[in-house]
Amino acid sequence: MSDGTTRVLWQSFDYPTDTLLPGMKLGINLRTGHQWSLTSWLTNQIPATGYFSFGADFRNNSQLITWWRGKIYWTSGFWHNGNLSFDNLRASLPQKDHWNDGYGFRYMSNKKEMYFSFHPNESVFFPMLVLLPSGVLKSLLRTYVHCESHIERQGCVKPDLPKCRNPASQRFQYTDGGYVVSEGFMFDDNATSVDCHFRCWNNCSCVAFSLHLAETRCVIWSRIQPRKYFVGESQQIYVLQTDKEENKRQQELLFELGAITKPFTKHNSKKHEKVGKKTNELQLFSFQSLAAATNNFSIENKLGEGGFGPVYKGKLLDGQEIAIKRLSKSSRQGLVEFKNEIALIAKLQHDNLVKLLGCCIKEEEKILIYEYLPNKSLDFFIFGDPSKKNLLNWKKRYNIIEGITQGLLYLHKFSRLRVIHRDLKASNILLDNEMNPKISDFGMARIFGQDECEANTNRVVGTYGYMSPEYVMQGIFSTKSDVFSFGVLLLEIVSSKKNHSNYHYERPLNLIGYAWELWKEGKELELMDQTLCDGPSSNNVVKRCIHVGLLCVQENPKDRPTMSDVVLMLANESMQLSIPKQPAFFIRGIEQELEIPKRNSENCSLNIVSISVMEAR
């Protein structure tokens, strides 16, 4: 537009939108202050002003810059010797299509203006550059600036991301099918795909995002459910994917630790559509999937904490609930347990053993993933308040006793490996939704050869009150060590009393000593939890359990029965039981509770020490 003379009143090249054509400028008119820059559309369908702009910056050195919401998103590098420092544009073109100075841009600076002008090679077909709503700068055929994937490229400004994200091995993959979204936790109006992408990257619980309503509203998903087919309208969704290289690095590290001897399978929700699908192979989980499953390891998801570290409840993308044991960085015991559990429990399959589903290794993170058992552990019920104890009548308690015996029998005799658990106790007996017991925590377990009867160690680990005398005093352990622990546990289940407490008025006795005294006097039923109301019909079974418990806690390991014997004793009421000998420990004097320093936490899994004295014969 002119005034009829040579004077120009308005021209479109001074007011570019999202497209740069040959001869157009990016810079500033120093006299008027008018700036030339590109501005993206809001979406591909909506030509309103978007959140990306592309122009020149002359404050320090001359360069081209893409801004996103006012922040630097990409830079071309400084103009030097007739070129821009970075070769994003050149690298994207075939050799024959190399542009003129500055790869298609020329730089001009004088008293009137400073700018870059666009001058592509004449051989380029339909030369133009378009700034897309996603911040991508592209021509008709090629893309020249693309930072959305977070893979490090020249000029892309690296975002500050939480530790749970790894741009080198993760990206969001677009899909238009195969998933049903559920439990979206954030809605964001007037958001672009880049806004959604960045918000998802910066939230460890985010595993996917999608765009709705003409791509102006973003939904961030904490969980997605894989499906083969859609019913009704499918949703466009970007799902977090992890490179196979990360999986490979995790496997290599596991081999270096000596924790596995065969390849793992990578956890992929697409391949495991059936919840609870059984497999004998462990799965490698990504740290991001576990962060999402636990709401970024929130305190609300925390189930408890042990010598290994905290334990969280989680929910996978396919809806399966899991228990996640995260190694504490300060735990020396934990690293040994981590290796031991992977090498051991993965090879054990029994209904009364907790199932290890997989693990995760990423930098300092070492995590074990188990099946989730909703009713917590046995100690929560038998040592809790009366309302909790009442939930376990004698029938349920006896079912738990039988389940524990079957699990131990499998470990000692019928599994592919002969295993000594070494830390059997009430808190390591987990209960499923039907109160069936499952033995857990194999971090301290040891494998025995078929010809091996016992072993010796200088490092005594376990829980005081459950450890056999030969193990505590000499470091000798065998299957009979587990039998001793089972005997203690059996007496605790019957009585709802802890072994390391005092139960006698005249002289303090632990539970074993108290049970022995009552049995000698023919008053063993007084040991039974008085809240049990199953009637006289259960009395004989209770007496038999106490009798078997006392046989298991005899001082000499040779006097104790095997777990095969225990199973027969409990199942066959007509079987004659031998007379138990005096148990291993009596406690004289007041039991002391000592706080064990954390640096020695590898030596036991409970901060209680019982000061015990052998009763003279």
CATH number, domain with residue 264:
3.30.200.20
Task: Report whether 352 contacts 404 (CB < 8 A).
Answer: yes
Query: Do both 294 and 434 map to the same domain?
Result: no
| Contact in structure between 210 and 223 (CB atoms under 8 Å) | no
Distance of alpha carbon 482 from alpha carbon 501, whole angstroms: 21
The first and second tokens of residue 325, run together, are: 């044991």
Task: Single out the residue in 242, 262, 297 at which a domain terminates.
Answer: 242
Q: Considering its fold, how many domains does the chain have in total?
A: 4
Do 497 and 411 fall within a single domain? yes
CB 600 within 8 A of CB 591: no
**Do 298 and 415 share a structural domain?**
no
208 and 240 in contact (C-beta within 8 Å)? yes
- Using an 8 Å Cβ cutoff, are 223 and 315 in contact? yes
In a domain, 156, yes or no: no
Distance CA(576)–CA(500), nearest Å, equals 30
Q: How many CA atoms lie within 13 A of 541 on its CB side?
A: 17
Q: Tell whether 473 and 388 lie within a shared domain.
A: yes
Find the domain containing 279 and state its range.
244-371
Round to whole Å and give the CA distance between 66 and 245: 31
DSSP bridge pairs for 143: 138
Asked if residue 277 belongs to a domain, the reply is: yes
Q: Which amino acid is at 377?
A: S
**Residue 530 domain-assigned?**
yes
In a domain, 6, yes or no: no
Are 75 and 224 in the same domain? no
SS3 282: coil
Q: Which amino acid is at 282?
A: L
Decide: 28 and 34 in contact? Cβ < 8 Å. Answer: yes
> Does 587 reside within a domain?
yes
Q: How many CB atoms lie within 10 A of CB 250?
A: 20
Torsion of Cα atoms, 84 then 88 then 92 then 98, to 10°:
0
Domain shared by 454 and 590, yes or no: yes
Do 108 and 195 belong together in one domain? no
From CA 536, how far away is CA 599, in angstroms rounded? 50
Domain C-terminal end among 350, 371, 392: 371
Do 340 and 208 fall within a single domain?
no
Pairwise CA distance, residues 496 & 530, whole Å: 9
Token pair, residue 306, equals 């042990």
Number of C-beta neighbours around residue 306 at 10 A: 20
Active site residues per annotation: 423
* One domain, residues 340 and 457: no
CATH number at residue 492: 1.10.510.10
Helices (H) and strands (E) in the chain, counts: 13, 32
Q: 476 vs 411, 444, 479, 482, CA distance in Å? A: 18, 14, 11, 12
What order do you get walking across the sheet with 25-29 strand by strand?
35-36, 25-29, 113-118, 105-109
Q: Which of 334, 356, 371 is where one domain is finished?
A: 371
Block mean pLDDT (10 aa), the chain, length 617: 69 86 89 91 84 86 86 83 60 37 70 86 72 81 61 66 70 60 55 78 78 65 52 58 60 53 48 38 77 86 82 86 84 67 78 89 81 92 85 93 96 86 92 94 77 63 83 87 96 91 66 91 90 73 95 94 95 91 60 33 36 36
pLDDT of residue 120: 73
Residues 179 and 271 in one domain: no
Q: Given this model, what pLDDT does residue 167 score?
A: 67
What angle, rounded to 10 degrees, do the helices at 539-552 and 563-571 form? 170
Residues 473, 394: one domain?
Answer: yes
Q: Is residue 57 in a domain?
A: yes
Q: Is 174 exposed, middle or buried (0-12, 13-18, 19+ CB in 10 A)?
A: exposed
Q: Cα-Cα-Cα-Cα dihedral of 206, 212, 218, 220, to 10°?
A: -20
* In a domain? residue 312: yes
Verify that 412 and 558 share a domain, yes or no.
yes
Is residue 3 situated within a structural domain? no
CATH number where 215 lies: 3.50.4
How many Cβ atoms are within 10 Å of 616's Cβ, its own excluded?
A: 5
Residue 258 neighbours by CB under 8 Å, 6+ apart: 339, 343
Contact between 114 and 102 under an 8 Å Cβ cutoff? The reply is: no
